[in-house]
């Protein structure tokens, strides 16, 4: 329905793996990745890995083919299509990168379901190498959040979305990782958060659920995600329709009352 914005994380929420690790492992660069991991931030590491892969002959087509094999639960795509068909606005907020996300969504046939993708920017340069950059350039300034990695605060993105909505729509946020905790804290009453059970965001929320203003509805796998998400959408839709009917009924009663003309005053005998 038009009054709901569904915000998805991507890795381990839409697909069932971390897309960065999936590509690195799938192309045989795991050892180099693990060797470099302690030496630089993750986002910088992925750009460095793309450089090393390109130097050793890996092509963009090779990367695309691995991305197309990303594991995904069979009920995720139907869930996305159903939410979109019901009129929800769908967005992604992810610490992966735009190239990986767009490639997978296009392969799955659901890219057009999403009105906005928020992730680390990436592009293929003139040499055919994939470049990956931070969403927030932490080499210049800090985003000021100690809960999130230096390159992206999902909470800041959620606050921007909230400002655009001006309180007119409810948000349903789905995620699994520790980076999804900050945006969960920014949701308000009337919103919904769907943490993946027994994943980092679930553990963080369970430490003190009272910090979360939104309603909490956990999920475990793609089948769970589809059921819980569509149940929430249906519940919000029923509440919205009931509120509209109540509003119309009140207006009709007001009109009916105003149409009852007062009796004419009788003339007073002289």
Q: Between these two residues, 191 and 270, which has the higher pLDDT value?
A: 191
Is 111 in contact with 105 (CB distance < 8 Å)? yes
Q: Does residue 62 sit within a domain?
A: no
Residue 202 lies in a domain: yes
Confirm whether 128 is domain-assigned.
Answer: no
Instruction: Taking residues 171-188, report their average pLDDT.
Output: 98
Q: Are 165 and 191 in contact (CB under 8 A)?
A: no
Q: Is 231 annotated as a binding residue?
A: no
Is 192 inside any structural domain? Answer: yes
> How many domains is the chain built from?
1
pLDDT at res. 239: 82
| pTM (two decimals) | 0.89
Tokens (6 digits) for 255: 């009109």
Q: Can you give the pLDDT at residue 1?
A: 63
Strands 114-120 and 122-124: unpaired
Structural domain including 226 reads: 4-16+74-122+136-243
> CATH no. for residue 197?
3.40.50.1000
Let me know if residue 255 belongs to a domain: no
Q: Label residue 81 exposed, middle or buried (CB < 10 Å: 0-12, 13-18, 19+).
A: middle
176 is annotated as contributing to ligand binding: yes
**21: its two tokens:** 């690790």
Does residue 23 register a pLDDT over 70? yes
Mean pLDDT, the chain, integer? 91
pLDDT of 249 above 70: no
Choose, from 9, 18, 191, 224, the residue flagged as catalytic. 9
CA atoms within 13 A on the CB side of 242: 6
130 pLDDT above the threshold of 60: yes
DSSP type of residue 16: S
Of 11, 18, 180, 191, the catalytic one is 11
pLDDT at 267: 53
Active site residue 11: yes
At 228 the pLDDT is 98
CB-based burial label for 27 (10 Å; 0-12, 13-18, 19+): middle
What does the pLDDT read at residue 63?
98
CA 47 to CA 245: how far, in whole Å?
Answer: 54
pLDDT of residue 254: 52
Please tell me the least confidently modeled range out of 4-13, 55-64, 105-114, 236-245. 236-245
pLDDT at 252: 53
Binding site annotation covers 18?
no
Would the annotation count 20 as a binding residue?
yes
Residue for token pair 């939104």: 214
Tell me if residue 9 is catalytic: yes
Pairing of strands 192-195, 170-175: parallel
Residue 258: pLDDT over 60:
no
Give the dihedral of Cα atoms 246, 247, 248, 253; nearest 10 deg.
Answer: 90
Q: Is residue 181 part of a domain?
A: yes
Long-range (24+ apart) CB contacts under 8 A made by 151-157 are: 151/41, 151/42, 151/43, 151/95, 151/120, 152/95, 152/120, 152/179, 153/182, 154/93, 154/95, 154/179, 154/180, 154/182, 154/183, 155/182, 155/183, 155/185, 155/186, 157/93, 157/118, 157/183
pLDDT band at 251; cut points 50, 70, 90: low
Please indicate, yes or no, if residue 220 is contained in any of the structural domains. yes
Q: Is residue 231 part of a domain?
A: yes
């Amino acid at each position: 329905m038009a009054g709901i914005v569904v915000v998805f994380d991507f890795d381990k929420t839409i697909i069932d793996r971390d897309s960065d690790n999936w590509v690195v492992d799938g192309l045989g660069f795991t050892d180099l990745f693990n060797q470099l991991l302690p030496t630089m931030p993750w986002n910088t590491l992925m750009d460095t890995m793309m450089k090393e892969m390109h130097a050793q002959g890996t092509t963009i087509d090779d990367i695309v083919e691995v991305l197309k094999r990303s594991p995904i639960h069979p009920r995720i795509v139907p869930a996305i299509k159903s939410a979109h068909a019901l009129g929800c606005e769908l967005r992604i907020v992810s610490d992966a990168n735009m190239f990986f996300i767009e490639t997978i969504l296009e392969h799955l046939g659901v890219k057009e379901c999403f009105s906005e993708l928020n992730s680390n920017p990436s592009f293929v340069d003139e040499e055919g190498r994939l470049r990956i950059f931070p969403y927030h350039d932490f080499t210049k300034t800090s985003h000021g959040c100690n809960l999130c990695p230096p390159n992206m605060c999902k909470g800041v993105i959620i606050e921007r979305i909230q400002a655009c909505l001006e309180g007119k729509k409810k948000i349903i946020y789905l995620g699994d990782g520790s980076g999804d905790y900050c945006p969960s804290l920014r949701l308000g009453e009337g919103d919904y958060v769907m943490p993946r059970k027994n994943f980092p965001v679930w553990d963080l929320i369970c430490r003190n659920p009272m910090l979360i203003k939104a309603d909490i509805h956990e999920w475990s796998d793609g089948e769970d995600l589809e059921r819980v998400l569509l149940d929430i959408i249906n519940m919000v839709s029923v509440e919205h329709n009931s509120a509209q009917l109540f509003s119309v009924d009140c207006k009709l009663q007001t009109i009916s009352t105003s149409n009852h003309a007062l009796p004419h005053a009788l003339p007073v005998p002289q």
